[in-house]
Chain A
Amino acid sequence: MALTEQTQASLSGWGNFPRLRDARVLRARGEAEMRAAIAQERSLIARGNGRSYGDPAMGSRATLSLLPSDRLMAFDADSGVLTCEAGVMLADILDVFVPRGWFVPVTPGTKFVTVGGAIASNVHGKNHHGAGSFGNHVESLTLALADGRVVRCSPQENADLFAATCGGMGLTGVIVSASFRLMRIETAYIRQETHHAANLETVMAMFEANQAWTYSVAWIDCLARGPDLGRSLLYLGEHARADELPAGNGQPLVLPPKATRRVPIDFPAFALNRWSVRAFNALYYRRAQAGGSLIDYDSYFYPLDAILEWNRIYGRPGFLQFQCVLPKATAAAGLRLLLDRVARSGRASFLAVLKLLGKQDGLLSFPMEGYTLALDFPADTGTLGLMLELDAITADHGGRPYLAKDSRCGATLVRQGYPHLGEFQSIRARVDPTGKFSSLQSERLGL
């Protein structure tokens, strides 16, 4: 079996930090090629579309790209269960199935992730409080193991391996294919309500009060301080019913085609600073119209995808995302400290997002009942220092970092934050005793 192999001058995650020089990338189309790669390599890690920010989808010896494994395999229109190869992107699934009245059960803030990546990171969406993570909707998956076997895992079959694989960051094996449930929709539109929240207490109370909404997310102005700390816009959403669309829309499931834009070059570092972000944030907060509106699902879920390669606005050095979750009991105090620390640092975060998460699921999965805060920063030494302080606040409040966003965390924070890590490691030791599946991240964190 001839495997295609490429040496890439540099490989990185979405944050462009860190970069791996002269990375070996193998490409697999279908199960046979995945198994051939596993047999041939001493150490490797699966890679979807590289939308994780840091180093979980990069192997120090080899990286196995699953993008060529992008085939839909079966769909049951009665149950809505779709079976596909792991390299299929959510974007493709939406293109095919939205016009037929189906939507993905859980989606992250970009649709350019693969099904394998969504399972391996057990991604959450704006509906986690109601729907749980992506893995909660997976009926079964097939996993190629270190010893060359391919096994089926589900909540019933090889249940422990299933639990370790959802959120397992590719460390249990290569997900070959998966079957998961799509959900019915009547239209391709979201009925959205926007609310202004003057500060952190207000927005948290609003999250609690609006749990009946399917989707909720808040954008925080993380440069606001003092009494304005946590000033935010809360976005609530529901899939619009056909009778909620303006009369005369004959094709409620079809969106008019849209143009995408590309960021032409890496931005110079000076373009993003505390003044430009402060001005942007203030304007954004004030200009937002409170009240209801109907918007297409693409603009609602994936506003950033409309600008391809927006990660380049952070320039050559790349950027880091800080994302943690804090349990409900300590969230108010912890978030206050985190936001205060960021605001005082004056460091610009363009993207600051707050979400309410539901129950814990899986062994190494990120979500737990509480609040998650995500912040983007340019990759520089000042940021690294700030993030260490944010880590400490996270640890003090019983929180944990999100591995899919991480590129620089310490092992201690991860060990403390993930109480099931030991269980995960013993399952991993059983199915992969030599640690064949390993990433830069797993080596760094001793996963």
Chain B
Amino acid sequence: MTAASSQTVLILGAASDIGLALARAYARGGARLILAARDARRLETDAADLRLRSQAEVRLVDFDVLDIAGAGAFLDGLGDLPDVAVSMVGLLGDQAASATDPLTADLVMRSNYNGPAAILGELAQRMEKRGSGILIGVSSVAGDRGRATNYVYGSAKAGFTAFLSGLRQRLQGTGVHVITVKPGFVDTRMTAGMPLPKPLTAQPAEVADAILRAQAKGRDVVYVRPVWLLVMTIIRLLPEAVFKRTRI
């Protein structure tokens, strides 16, 4: 993948399974990596692995997506503005707890929407000024329609999807491109223990490949497994009166 080579790629939320798979994929392509995570020291073994595997340049930085006021200072601290920034940040949470406890719900909402939108918004400002850059937001098919089983998480992802869409339109013609990635089920520690249907479940490395491909092809919105576009289109088109009675 030559498209990624010698670019600086910032991965926000790099400690997730998908984040680490993505780091490996970018490193293989020759990118310089900045891995941002809460308590980034935890990623030292992963950084050593990336340096050994791909002889990649890897930097670890602490990052808290909930620290919205600190977003600008965080980016200042990086030195040069990265060429590519990916937000992998997300928190599935527990729907039952989110439905009954406002503070739990608030954390899910801030982790999936307010925080990621704030940092990407700040990055957009700077990239627009520079006149180049790629912003990649990992949202979710759960944002395509609110469902009983995960509407708190889904609504936050819906907000994030809308934010990315608007940002993309605003940045049209500025040299900054925005990509929305919608994984369906992914086999990660976040979903461990859930009975996921195999044909609809992607591996973290598959999501990483889809992201690199989307970047290389300049795509706008990507469903990691294309079958999800079909599934979600059907679910979206169901009239509300019908949908509310289903168990989808």
Seen from chain A, the residues whose Cβ lies within 8 Å of a Cβ on chain B are 2, 4-7, 27, 30, 71-75, 85, 92, 96
Contact = CB atoms under 8 A, between A and B. Distances in A.
Contacts of A5: 192-193
Given A7-B193, A27-B192, A75-B52, 4 more contacts: A6-B192, A30-B45, A71-B48, A73-B52
A193 B153 CA distance: 62
A93 to B, nearest CB: 10
Nearest to B52: A72
A4 B188 CA distance: 9
Interface in B47-68: 48-49, 52-53
B247 interface: no
- Which 7 interchain pairs have the tightest Cβ spacing? A4-B192, A71-B49, A72-B52, A4-B189, A72-B49, A71-B45, A96-B53
Nearest to A4: B192
A73 B45 CA distance: 7
Tell me the dominant secondary structure on chain B's binding face.
helix
Interface of B: 45-46, 48-49, 52-53, 189, 192-193
24 contacts: A2-B189, A4-B189, A4-B192, A6-B193, A7-B193, A27-B189, A27-B192, A30-B45, A71-B45, A71-B46, A71-B48, A71-B49, A72-B48, A72-B49, A72-B53, A73-B48, A73-B49, A73-B52, A74-B52, A75-B52, A85-B45, A92-B53, A96-B52, A96-B53
A80 B55 CA distance: 16
A74 B53 CA distance: 10
A150 to B, nearest CB: 15
Contacts of A4: 189, 192-193
Nearest to B53: A96
A96 B53 CA distance: 6
Contacts of B53: 72, 92, 96
A90 to B, nearest CB: 14
A92 B192 CA distance: 24
In this complex, the member of A71, A74, A75, A85 whose beta carbon has the largest number of chain B beta carbons within 10 angstroms is: A71
A69 to B, nearest CB: 9
B18 to A, nearest CB: 13
B46 to A, nearest CB: 6
Contacts of A75: 52
Contact of B48 (A2, A6, A27, A74): A74
Contacts of A73: 45, 48-49, 52
